[in-house]
Structure formats: structure tokens, C-alpha cells
């Protein structure tokens, strides 16, 4: 409430000043005693209209017309203080609604005509006193006709000039507000772009983090599985054959060095270097070196693949062989087949003690629908390049057989 009253202080001050000047003019006017009260009414009404012109321009316009109407009906002379109606014209154009602006624009010529009628019928009143010679001005009014047109033009100019100024300021504020809104919208759009870019960068970093985790998992898991298999095979060596033990330890050391080199390579470069064309054969040879029997077959004519697809094929086969080593029976071979039939189909089949991915259904022909990080990692890798993965477990006469099959496109995008 205090803030509202403080906002009204300039308006009340202006109304008080206009009321004081109007009452002084009414008190000093050469009119009949009863007419001074009428002049005081005009002064107070004009002052109230001026006070409302900023906060309530429509009410100010209505009050000004009410005062002028009563003045016309009661035959009250014009007053000098009524020139402050120009403040009402300014306020309606500056702060009024669209309807108020239009009504105030129409009021200006109408008001000029009313003033001309009043002057023509009753004289200039306070305006003649301002000129200093009322009788001379009244004589001019009675002898000339062109003065009426001049008076109407001057009246319209008196009200029209402040009205045009208020209208200009109104549209100036609107233009500044529109510019500020446009700048705010542009800033919001720029902020949205920045947030989108940040979100994309975060998504890229998370994807890169997941890829790095998968690469480390594949490299370390495969190497440790090979090393573990070699170490386990060492306990079956003849104690009288130290050379065989040395060869096994050399293979373990070679596997460890290869694993360490691959991990360093993965951590040093966010983009994994592409596998060499013989990389898949190298993986198979590494499993054989660990003591597992591997039966490998390649059907069809090998086709060149983009580096990113070679990496996917390498990592997927690496994870398949890792699980075959970890969960397969050592007395049964690991079957690896590579089929080139429009796309590369990699199939790894081995006899297991317990299914490494623990499919929920069991029984023959079941498709494993759940698994650990290795299965999920292979599936994500393949789906990212348009490939797919299928895992099946079958209960056969010689044991439970687990088959993992991956389809890898030979062209980028799975085309």
C-alpha cells in the first residue's frame, strides 16, 4: 500500500498545483459572486483530470468531458487554467488503452469546436484577461469571422501537440520493449543452443566412457582368461621337462605384455586403432596357445571392412573366446566359424559346464535373453554398427552346448 501511494505522489502534486492556480483564478475573476463557485468547480474538476491522466487516463478523459459539458450547459466562462487539459491529452495518448487513444484523438477537434462556440456566444472570459484587453478582443470577435477558424486551429494545436508527443513516446516505449523482448528471445535461443551442445558433449563423453570401459573389459578379460588357462595347464606338465615349463611361462609373459600394451593403447587414444587383417586369426592362435583345442573354419571369400567394423569384429570375437575359455570344458574343442555371406557372421560354439550367460529358459534351442557385462557389451557394440547378437544353449548327449553368433556388416552403417 505504501508503494502504491508513493507512485501517486507526482500525480497528486500536479493536481494540487493546478487546483491552486485555478482557485486563485476563480477568486480574482471579475464575475458575479455566485459565478466564482462555478469557476472553482471547473478549476477543481480540471485539477482532478490532470491528476488522473497518468494512472487512469480513461477516467481523466471522461472527467474532462464532464467538466466541459457542465460548463457548456451552465454557461460558465472559459478559464485560463483549462489549458492544463493538454496534460490530459498527453496522458491519454501516452498511457491510455487503444480505445482511449482513439477517443482522445476524436475529442481534440470536437473540443476545439466547443471552445469556439463558447467564445462566440459568451466571450473569451479568462483568456481575454490573459491578453490584457478583454473589450478589444471581444470587439474583434464581433467584427471578424475568420478568427473563429483561427481559434479552432489554435485549440486543436494546443491539445494536438501534447497528444502527438504522448503518442510518439508510447510507440517509442513499445519499440524498446519489442527490442528487449527480441534480445531476450535471442539470448534464450543462444542459451538453449549452448545447453543442447553441452548435453551432446556430455552424451558423447558418456558414450566414450562406456566404449573405453568395454575395451578395457575385453582386453583385460581375454588376456587374464588366456593367462589363467596357461597357468592351469602348467600343473599338468612333467616335472622332468623344465623346457616345457619355460615355454609355458614365456607364453604367460607374452600374453601379459600383450595385454599391458593393449590396455595402454586403449587408454592413450580415445579411438581404438583398427585391428589388423590377421587380428582374428591372432585371437584364435592365442586361445590355442593357452592349451585349448580350437577348430576354426572360414566359409566364403573374406571382404575388406572399414576400420571401425574391424574393431567391432575383433572385440566381439575376443569376448566370445574369453567366455569359451572361462566356462568351456577343456576336454572339448572350441568351434569358431566365420561366414562371409553378404555380412560377416561369427559363430563360437563350445561345451560348457554351466551356461556363462545363464539363460532363463534352459532346454534346447533357447535364446539367452539376459547376461553379464560381456554379453551386454557385445550386443551394444554390434547394435551401434547395425549388427546383432544371438546366444543359444542346447542340452545335447555330450553335454550342454553354448553357441554365440554375431552378425557384423561389412560396410559402415550396416548397408
Report whether 10 contacts 55 (CB < 8 A).
no
Instruction: Give the residue from 378, 358, 376 showing the smallest Cα distance to 366.
Output: 358
Q: What mean pLDDT value characterizes the chain? A: 78
Report whether 202 contacts 125 (CB < 8 A).
no
414 pLDDT band, cuts 50/70/90, is very low
Please list, in sequence order, all residues whose beta carbon lies within 8 angstroms of the beta carbon of residue 56, skipping any fewer than 6 positions away.
Answer: none
Alpha carbon separation from 31 to 21, 76, 246, 382, 395 (Å, rounded): 17, 10, 135, 105, 125
Return d(Cα 325, Cα 225) in angstroms, integer. Answer: 6
Measured on CA atoms in the order 351, 355, 357, 361, is the torsion positive or negative?
A: positive
Q: In this structure, how many other beta carbons lie within 10 angstroms of the beta carbon of residue 151?
A: 19
Q: In this structure, how many other beta carbons lie within 10 angstroms of the beta carbon of residue 41?
A: 17
Return d(Cα 415, Cα 34) in angstroms, integer. Answer: 104
- Retrieve residue 39's grid coordinates: 469557476
> Tens digits of per-residue pLDDT, 317-376?
888 888 888 888 878 889 999 999 888 999 999 988 754 444 433 333 333 333 445 788
Can you list the domains of the chain with their CATH numbers? Answer: 2-143 (no CATH), 274-415 (3.30.565.10)
Residues 376-395, mean pLDDT to the nearest whole number: 87
The least confident of 256-260, 265-269, 396-400 is 265-269
Question: Which pLDDT score, from 0 to 100, does residue 337 have?
Answer: 93
Alpha carbon separation from 63 to 55, 85, 102 (Å, rounded): 14, 11, 17
The least confident of 34-43, 84-93, 123-132, 162-171 is 123-132
Measured on CA atoms in the order 213, 218, 219, 221, is the torsion positive or negative?
A: positive
Question: Which pLDDT score, from 0 to 100, does residue 151 have?
Answer: 60
> Tens digits of per-residue pLDDT, 108-147?
888 877 777 666 665 555 444 444 445 545 554 554 555 5
- Retrieve residue 70's grid coordinates: 457542465
Q: Convert the chain into a string of H (helix), E (strand) and C (coil).
A: CHHHHHHHHHHHHHHHHHHHHHHHHHHHCCCCHHHHHHHHHHHHHHHHHHHHCCCCHHHHHHHHHHHHHHHHHHCCCCCHHHHHHHHHHHHHHHHCCHHHHHHHHHHHHHHHHHHHHHHHHHCCCHHHHHHCCHHHHHHHHHHCCHHHHHHHHHHHHHHHHHHHHHHHHHHHHHHHHHHHHHHHHHHHHHHHHHHHHHHHHHHHHHHHHHHHHHHHHHHHHHHHHHHHHHHHHHCCCCCCCHHHHHHHHHHHHHHHHHHHHHHHHHHHCCCCCCCCCCHHHHHHHHHHHCCCCEEEEEECCCCCCCHHHHHHHHHHHHHHHHHHHHHECCCCCEEEEEEECCCEEEEEEEEECCCCCCCCCCCCCEECCCCCHHHHHHHHHHHHCCCEEEEEEEEECCEEEEEEEEEECCCHHHC
Q: Convert 116-129 into a string of H (helix), E (strand) and C (coil).
A: HHHHHHHCCCHHHH
Q: In this structure, how many other beta carbons lie within 10 angstroms of the beta carbon of residue 103?
A: 16
Report whether pLDDT(270) > 60: no
- Retrieve residue 102's grid coordinates: 482513439
250 pLDDT band, cuts 50/70/90, is confident
Residues 273-283, mean pLDDT to the nearest whole number: 62
Distance of CA 230 to the CA centre of its chain: 57
Return d(Cα 64, Cα 96) in angstroms, integer. Answer: 15
Give the predicted TM-score (pTM) of the model. Answer: 0.45
> Tens digits of per-residue pLDDT, 152-172?
666 677 888 889 898 899 988
Report whether pLDDT(207) > 80: no
Question: Which pLDDT score, from 0 to 100, does residue 51 have?
Answer: 92
Partner residues linked to 347 by β-bridges: 337, 405
Return d(Cα 305, Cα 303) in angstroms, integer. Answer: 6
274 pLDDT band, cuts 50/70/90, is very low
Amino acid at each position: 500500500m505504501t508503494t502504491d501511494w508513493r507512485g501517486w505522489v507526482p500525480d497528486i502534486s500536479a493536481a494540487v498545483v493546478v487546483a491552486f492556480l485555478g482557485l486563485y483564478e476563480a477568486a480574482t475573476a471579475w464575475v458575479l459572486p455566485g459565478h466564482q463557485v462555478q469557476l472553482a468547480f471547473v478549476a477543481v474538476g480540471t485539477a482532478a483530470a490532470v491528476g488522473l491522466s497518468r494512472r487512469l487516463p480513461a477516467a481523466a478523459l471522461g472527467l474532462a468531458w464532464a467538466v466541459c459539458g457542465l460548463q457548456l450547459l451552465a454557461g460558465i466562462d472559459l478559464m485560463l487554467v483549462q489549458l492544463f487539459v493538454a496534460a490530459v491529452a498527453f496522458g491519454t495518448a501516452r498511457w491510455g488503452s487503444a480505445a482511449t487513444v482513439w477517443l482522445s484523438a476524436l475529442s481534440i477537434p470536437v473540443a476545439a469546436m466547443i471552445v469556439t462556440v463558447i467564445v462566440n456566444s459568451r466571450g473569451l472570459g479568462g483568456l481575454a484577461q490573459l491578453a490584457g484587453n478583454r473589450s478589444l478582443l471581444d470587439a474583434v470577435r464581433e467584427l471578424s469571422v475568420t478568427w473563429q477558424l483561427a481559434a479552432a486551429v489554435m485549440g486543436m494545436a494546443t491539445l494536438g501537440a501534447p497528444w502527438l508527443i504522448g503518442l510518439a513516446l508510447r510507440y517509442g516505449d513499445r519499440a524498446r520493449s519489442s527490442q528487449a523482448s527480441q534480445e531476450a528471445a535471442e539470448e534464450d535461443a543462444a542459451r538453449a543452443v549452448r545447453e543442447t551442445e553441452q548435453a551432446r558433449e556430455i552424451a558423447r563423453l558418456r558414450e566414450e566412457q562406456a566404449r573405453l570401459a568395454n575395451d578395457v573389459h575385453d582386453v583385460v578379460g581375454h588376456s587374464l582368461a588366456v593367462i589363467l588357462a596357461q597357468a592351469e595347464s602348467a600343473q599338468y606338465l612333467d616335472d622332468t621337462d623344465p623346457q616345457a615349463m619355460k615355454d609355458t611361462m614365456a607364453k604367460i609373459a607374452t600374453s601379459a605384455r600383450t595385454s599391458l600394451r593393449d590396455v595402454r593403447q586403449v587408454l592413450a587414444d580415445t579411438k581404438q586403432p583398427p585391428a589388423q587383417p590377421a587380428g582374428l586369426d591372432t585371437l584364435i592362435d592365442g586361445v590355442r596357445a593357452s592349451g585349448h583345442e580350437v577348430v576354426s573354419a572360414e566359409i566364403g571369400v573374406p571382404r575388406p571392412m572399414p576400420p571401425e567394423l574391424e574393431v567391432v569384429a575383433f572385440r566381439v570375437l575376443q569376448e566370445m573366446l574369453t567366455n569359451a575359455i572361462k566356462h568351456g570344458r577343456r576336454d572339448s574343442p572350441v568351434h569358431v566359424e566365420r561366414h562371409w555371406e553378404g555380412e560377416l557372421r561369427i559363430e563360437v560354439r563350445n561345451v560348457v559346464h554351466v551356461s556363462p550367460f545363464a539363460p532363463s529358459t534352459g532346454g534346447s534351442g533357447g535364446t539367452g535373453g539376459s547376461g553379464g557385462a560381456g554379453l551386454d557389451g557385445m550386443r551394444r557394440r554390434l547394435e551401434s554398427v547395425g549388427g546383432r547378437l544371438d546366444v543359444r544353449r542346447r542340452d545335447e548327449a555330450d553335454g550342454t552346448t553354448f553357441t554365440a553368433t554375431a552378425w557384423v556388416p561389412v560396410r559402415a552403417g550396416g548397408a
